[in-house]
Amino acid sequence: MSENVIRAMQNILGEALANYNHEKVRWCYDYMSDMREIVLRKFDGISAYILEYIENHTKIPPEEMEKMKNQTTGRKNESNIRQEFFLVHTTRDLRMGVYGNVAGKAQTHKYVEFGGVACKTPRAYGNVQLIIRALWTSFDDASVKPGPNGEKSLLPDIVVGGIVDFRLYQYPEGSR
């Protein structure tokens, strides 16, 4: 939704650039940057919520447990906790995925895809309980840096295809 507002802002920005209105250009960049910063903070909040209530994503519901008991797979799974979980949310401009290795089972170089963005678990963390969060944005939030007086200045880089931010989190400890 915010990217729709930013697309409209880009029209205003184009007009300001064409008219050499530097003050309006700076205002447009600041406005778009602030909107995107809010979106990224919201995704950080969503990630924190997922980690705080992780048991909602790792516990196997009773109905699914019953199905598993009825299947004859040759091995018993008496635990009501998933070995791993995977959550994905995609929009036109944002993709977020969260993968959790709940069991800490050895999965060296496990290939994980987050809606078109993929990664492998690092070798050093192959048998550790961990959470991987991937966030892809179609916009470039990495080429803007704060200037000496707090103003935002653009770096000379041009990012095409978006930015991917991968983060590893330690698996949260359960309550005792």
In a domain, 7, yes or no: yes
pLDDT above 50 (res 62): yes
With CA atoms as reference, report the closest residue to 99 among 55, 130, 137: 130
Tokens representing 73 are 């797979």
* Residue 139 within a domain: yes
What is the model's pLDDT at position 108? Answer: 64
Listed in order, strand segments (DSSP E) in the chain are 84-90, 94-101, 111-114, 117-120, 130-137, 144-146, 152-154, 163-170
**CB contact burial 26-63 (16+ within 10 A = b; e otherwise):** eebbeebbebbeebbeebeebbeebbeebeeebbeeee
Task: Please answer whether residues 137 and 36 qualify as being in contact, where contact means their C-beta atoms are separated by less than 8 angstroms.
Answer: yes
Q: How does DSSP classify residue 117? A: E
Q: Is 175 part of any domain?
A: no
pLDDT at 19: 92
Instruction: State the residue range of the domain holding 143.
Output: 2-170
For 80-135, the pLDDT digits (tens) are 788 888 888 888 888 888 888 887 777 666 777 877 778 887 777 777 888 888 88
pLDDT for the residue 175: 46
What local confidence, expressed as pLDDT, does residue 23 receive? Answer: 92
Whether residue 154 lies inside any domain: the answer is: yes
Instruction: Give me the number of domains the chain comprises.
Output: 1
Kindly report the number of other CB atoms within 10 A of residue 168's CB atom.
13
Q: Is the pLDDT of residue 15 over 50?
A: yes
Residue 128 lies in a domain: yes
Look at residue 165 and tell me if it is in a domain.
yes
